[in-house]
Structure 1
Amino acid sequence: MQSNEIPVHSEDERELKRNHTARYYAHRVRESLTRRVVKLICTIFLTFLFIIGLLVFILWLSLRPHRPRIHIRDFSMPGLAQANGFENAQVSFNVTARNSNQNMGIYYDAMEVTLYYQDQNIGGALIVGSFYEEPKNSTALTGILSGGATLTVNNQRWMQFQADRSRGEVIFRLQLTSTIRFKVVSWTSKRHKMHASCAAGVGPDGLILASYRDKKCPVYFI
């Protein structure tokens, strides 16, 4: 005859079950705490990286070097109206170099100028030796090219000038070349070869046309 009695667990079995349940919940609690600690550490680390990145970005924006701004202020060839003016040809110019950086100075090793007409070199000279330009400052660069030493214009070239003059405009190109370094406090950058190309058009009177005066010159490094 089959017995219908429900088996009764022993006290040891019940104790074992309670211990197993307690260990399970303790493990879950430890796992939850570990996960929270890991998340907290990751959050702190990512926040630290974000703050450092933001500071570096702000520092880069404030110290990012801006290349010099070159403007041609004046340019003239006074004797252009003379038929044989090539014998005493002379060019005068006034250019400004501005350091637009807020906290960065610029060292110029020297500044050379070369005058071009129809992409042909017709003169040039060293217009200033090495100098330092403070932040938010401008430097006037003036010079005169004349005679065989700094300006070479023969009769044939002068006739080309006269042909352009009869059409109302003679266009020259003034190229300035220098080697510059940027300076922040006691740090100085490596040298950069700078070129600025300034178009200069003069009218029949030999004076710069209004459309070229105060015009910004493209500046590039090589």
Structure 2
Amino acid sequence: MNSSPLIKPVSVHHLHNLSLCYILSGGNMLPVQKNNVGDRRQVHRTHSAKYYIDRVHDTLTTRVSKLICAVIIGLLIIISILTFILWLSLRPHRPKFHVREFSIPALAQANGFDGAQVIFNITARNPNLNVGYYYDDAMQVVLYYQDEDIGSTTLLHPFLQEPKNETILYGVLSGPTLLMNNQRWMQFQADRAKGAVIFRLSVSSTIRFKVSSWNSHSHKIHVNCEVGVGPDGLLLPRYINIKKCPVYFS
């Protein structure tokens, strides 16, 4: 039995490639299959030594720049923290004023108008650890009743109040320092019948802050203390050592 050669099927695309190669060879060459896939070659680019030197130089420059920026930022953060801590320790707090005593002994007497006296005791405290106060002027104390000035006096001479120190302002208003008349005394008695007579003590002076050898500019300090006495002429309990007097500067 004769065996016939095996004929493999050829695709149209394969025949096209064979024909193209045969035509290009002028018909004198045997057709050779052209494989497009095998002709794909990768192109490798080469760089000069200067290129790599520049790359290394750029890398070192970038690293040095980042290091310098990090050091500068770190120093700024440390300086800011130290400045904030220093500001907290040296930041001046306002003086604190409290009324310890206030009384009108003659208020309980029907004919107490002639010998009327107002006795007061105020403490001025410096709460700072490192800041002192220079009071350049004497303390001016004014007593108000229904926003009318009814008496005033001057206490203390200019002085330096050291840190964590307390100064007592004690005074008595009577005679020429207490502007009293019969009509006003009758108003006191009317309020007394209601259970309380309310006054306002105002303290003013000129103050400077002292930190070591440095002194601030002068500021006008104003203190307003609301006080009230009962029918016996003594300070009511709600005003004793509880209420801090508002302080402001101008």
TM-score normalised per structure 1: 0.90
1:143 aligns with 2:171: yes
Q: Which has the larger radius of gyration?
A: 2
Q: Which of 78, 92, 107 does residue 119 from structure 2 map onto?
A: 92
Specify every segment of 5 or more residues in structure 2 that has no aligned partner in the other structure, as ranges.
Answer: 1-23, 26-44
Counterpart-to-counterpart distance in 1, 2:62 and 2:114: 90
Amino acid at match of 1:129: H
**1:61 matches 2:92:** no
Counting only pairs closer than 5 Å after superposition, residues 98-177 of structure 1 correspond to structure 2 as 98-109=125-136, 110-147=138-175, 149-177=176-204
The one of the two structures with greater contact order (alpha-carbon pairs below 8 A, sep at least 6) is: 1
Measured against aligned partners, the alpha-carbon deviations of 1:54-81 in whole angstroms (never above 9, x if no partner) come to 1111110000000100000010000001
1:220 aligns with 2:245: no
1:198 aligns with 2:225: yes
Structure 1, gaps ≥5 residues long:
3-16
Q: What is the SS of the residue equivalent to 1:87?
A: coil
Asked if the contact 1:84/1:155 (under 8 Å) is kept, the reply is no
Spell out the pairing of 1:16-95 with structure 2 (5 A cutoff). 20-95=47-122
- Following superposition, the deviation at residue 86 of structure 1 comes to 2.1
**Among the aligned pairs, what percent are the same residue?**
62
User: Alignment length, in residue pairs?
Assistant: 206
- Measured on the aligned residues, the alpha-carbon RMSD in Å equals 1.4
Query: With structure 2 as the length reference, what TM-score do the two structures score?
Result: 0.80
C-alpha deviation, 1:192, in angstroms:
0.9
Residues of 1 paired with 2:225 and 2:195: CA distance? 19
Query: Which residue identity does 1:39 align to in structure 2?
Result: K
> Is the partner of 2:151 in helix, strand or coil?
strand
Is the strand fraction higher in 1 or 2? 1
- 1:182 partnered with 2:209: yes
Q: Is the 8 A contact 1:101 1:136 kept in 2?
A: yes
Residue 11 of structure 2 corresponds to none
Could you list the structure 1 runs, at least 4 aligned residues long, displaced by more than 3 angstroms after superposition.
none
